[in-house]
Structures are given as C-alpha cells and as structure tokens.
Structure 1
Amino acid sequence: VFSWGLSFAVILSQHYLQDDFELWHSFAYYHIIAMLDGFCSLWYINCNAFGTASRGLAMNLHKALEAEHPALKLAQYRHLWVDLSHMMQQLGRAYSNMYGIYCMVIFFTTTISLYGALSEILDSGLSYKEMGLFVIVGYCMTLLYIICNEAYHATRKVGFEFQVRLLNVNLTTIDRSTQREVQMFLVAIAKNPPIMNLDGFTNINRELFAANISFMSTYLIVLMQFKLTLLRQSARKAVKTIVRAVVNATNDAPDDDVDDDDDE
C-alpha cells in the first residue's frame, strides 16, 4: 500500500510540475515506481531481519556464558553465526542481477534528470519543470541511500558489533575451553565477514552510495561541458549574425546617399 501511495505521489507531482506531462501519460509509470518501492522494501526487510537475528543471538550468547557447559553452547552459537553470515552473503548473490540492474537504473535516471534540470536552467531559467526533475532525483537518491545504508547497518550489527561483544568477554572468569571457543569465534568472524555484495562485483554499503555520487558528478561535469560548448557556439553564431547585419546596414547607407545625389 505504501509503495503504491508513494508511486501516485511521485508521478502526480510530475503531472502538476511539468506542463508537457499529461495525466494519461502517468498510467504507464505507476506500476514501475511501485515496483522500485517494492524492491527497496524487500531489501529493507531482509537487512532488518539479519540485524534482529544478530541481536537475539548476541543476547543469548551472554546467557550461554553464564550457563553450564558454556564451551558447548558457544560452539553451537558459532555455527549459527557462520550460517547467518553465509545467508547474508548468499542474499547478495541471489539478488545480484535484480539489484545490479536496479542500481544502474537509479544511477542513469538520476544523472539524466540532473542534466536535464541543469540544462533547462541554463536555457530558460528555473521553473516548475526543473522542480519536477529534482523530485525524481531526490526520490532515486533516497532509494539508493536506503539500500546502501541498510546493508551497512546489517553488516555492522552481524559483524563488528558482534565481534565487540566477544572482545568484551572477561576471559579471566571463564575456563580454558571456553576461552578457546571465544578465540575460535573471533577467527570465524574474521574469516567469514558478513558482507553483502552483488555476486562479487561490488559491496553494498555506504561506500557504494558515495561512489555513485562521485561517478554522477564526473558524468555531469562532462555533459555540462558539452552543453556549455554548444551554448558558446550558439552565442558566437548570434554575434556573427549581428555583426554581419550591422556591416551590411553600414554598407547600404552610403549607396543610398549616392543614389540620392544622382537623382538630384
């Protein structure tokens, strides 16, 4: 319901902000925006599920250290944590094609919308049409931020925060076998980092969001250079046209005077 509601809000804003965007055009976009919202919601739910599972596992870990036979319990939790880490890694691989295309769509849509808005501002100044394009940019960047930020928090909760909990265990209060299990647990975390990636192409975290902004800026600079070059060429042609008109008018003036003298 939320996905469809957001879809209607985004598309109808384009209808009211852009004069050439007719209402009947909007029916071709509602399901696309709702689908993008649904994919983002699915990613959000999965990442929060991993964080919740890690939090519950960490809470039970401290209870296990205070129970009888803590070494055995710790070994069982270590196997559970490794399974959780593998699930996070497999999630990125399973959805690699879908979310890879998803991120590419967001990247190109944002870049083209920004270029269109800046070009319109240079050509005709700021208007409601540019505001509509900025709405699209804000919407796409919000989706990308949610995906990158939630993956970052899931990785941090399952990996770093869990590791910190183990490092805070007072080894002097537990027996030698439990100490060995704690060390093995830390080694397992180091060797199986819970990193979500798109089948090895790129890791999904806040660095991906920053990298996208960097690439967008680079492409926009190049595109705006082309735009400014075209504007300079148009300005030169206009100046040349004006100069020619002035020169022609100046040359025609003496000829008219000569014709007047001949008539006299």
Structure 2
Amino acid sequence: MNRPARLAVGVVSTGRVGAVLGAALARAGHSVVAASGVSRESVQRAEDLLPGVPLLAPDDVVRAADLVLLALPDDALPGMVRGLAAADALRPGQIVVHTCGAHGVDVLAPAQEHGALPLALHPVMTFTGRAEDLERLATCCFGVTAVDSDEAAWSVGEALVMEMGAEPVRISDSDRPLYHTALAHGANHLVTLVAEAADLLRGTGVDNPDRMLGPLLSAALDNALRHGDRALTGPVARGDAGTVRAHLRVLAENAPDMLPAYRALAERTAERAEQSGLLRPDLAPDVFAALRPGTGEDRR
C-alpha cells in the first residue's frame, strides 16, 4: 500500500474529532502547521493536543496545508467547502479530507474542481477530545470513501487511516447514507436505551444503576456481536406474553413517555426472534397481541 509523504496538515476545526485526528497525524510523522478553533473548548483542545500550532481563520489554515482535515458537523460541511472554494483557498495537489459519516466525496466536489484529491475518512468511535482517544484509535475502524474509479485515492485514504493506528474499511459513496444510518441507529439509540433503563432503576431506589447495568449490558453487547439474534433472551424471545403485558402496564403507570419506544423495540425483537426460531410459533401470536395497541396489552 502506498505510504503518503510527510504532509503539512491543516485542521478545520479543533473540535473533539479534529484535535484528536490532528494529533494522530502528528504522531505518525506529519506536521500540523495550522488549525482553526473559536470556542474556548476548541482553543483548549488545540493547546492540549496540538501544542504550538497557530490558530488561524479556516481559509488561512487551508492555504498553509497539503492535507486539509475538515472535522465539521454534517450540516456545516457543504457550506464550508463552498466557501473555501470561493475564497480560492484550495489548490491542485492538496488532499482534502472530511470526517463526516453521512457524506461521501460528492460534498467535496468544489475542492475536486480546484484540483484537490477528495477523501472521506470517518472514524467509527465516539470522542471525548482528550489524549486517551489517541489510544482508542487502535481499536476502531474508519469508513474510507474515495472517487470510485480512483484506486490511488483509495490507497492514500487507507494509508492515512493505518498511519493513525486504525483499520480502514472501504465504503462506496452510494452506500454512505445507509452506512451512517447503521452506526447512528446502533450507537445513538443505545445511549438512549441505557439512559432510560438507568432512569427506571433509579425510580425503584437503586442508587448506582450503572453498577447494576454495566455487567449485564456489557455481556449482552458482547453476545450480540458474537452471535447475532441467537443472543436474544428475555420475555419476548421466550414468549412470556404475560410478562410483556406487565411491563407495558408498569410503564404506562410510571414512565408513559418510555412506553412507545419499549413497544416498538419489543415488537421488532419479537419479529427477529420469530424469524430466527427463538420465539416459538405457538407463542408468537400472544406476544404480538400484547404489544400492539388495542389488541390485548391490558389482558390479565
């Protein structure tokens, strides 16, 4: 695989992702020559992770760089790329990388029109913006996207990811929306699910729900990644419709705002359990009847 030459890196901006990836590229031997950061938190991250790197306006950062790292929110990225192109900050031969999961390389078309090499390198992990994130890169993957027909560009993207210590995984431009949906569905909704379980436990008087949930959820996640649907346990997979109805009643009484999410997830769980053969065919109708509004959730 081609190894990129030592590059002058410009980071726009020093949020949680940008500061960490800039530091990872510096650790790999590249030189971070400029960065942009406005908020107090971004300035502090730059001081901690990119010491001595000057903070400049985004267009000045880009002009100074061979490798431009655009670590911006999804919705802010298109406007930034158009603005940099309009300011003539981009030039032929630059590598322009963005870190958004939802976008492919099409969003970098204005940079490509200026002769830059467009890449999308999305780290599949959550960031704190602190030094420990650098070590976590060794355990994560990056979704790598380049122009489909440009094999050299794919190789450059993969080499950059490997230099940062992570594992590159090719994602075609057309597949980026589905790829990002999968990650957001798993990670973001998992946080909501865990937080709601902790809230319910606090309602029973449990002072440290994290201590109770930690081993259970860690084991459940490990089993799910190893075994898929065969890891399902609990009343839905067992066909215990009476217990499911009891859950719905207690949520209606104590946490009605959580009831729709519980019902939707339990029904999807029942469908997957039935398809995988865990939920017995003779018990499945009662479980679905308990979960669907107006069809039995209040039966005793």
Larger helix proportion, structure 1 or 2?
Answer: 1
Range of TM-score over shorter length: under 0.3
Which one has the largest radius of gyration? 1
Question: TM-score with structure 1 length normalisation?
Answer: 0.24
Larger strand proportion, structure 1 or 2?
Answer: 2
Question: TM-score with structure 2 length normalisation?
Answer: 0.22
Q: Which has the higher contact order (CA 8 A, sep 6+)?
A: 1
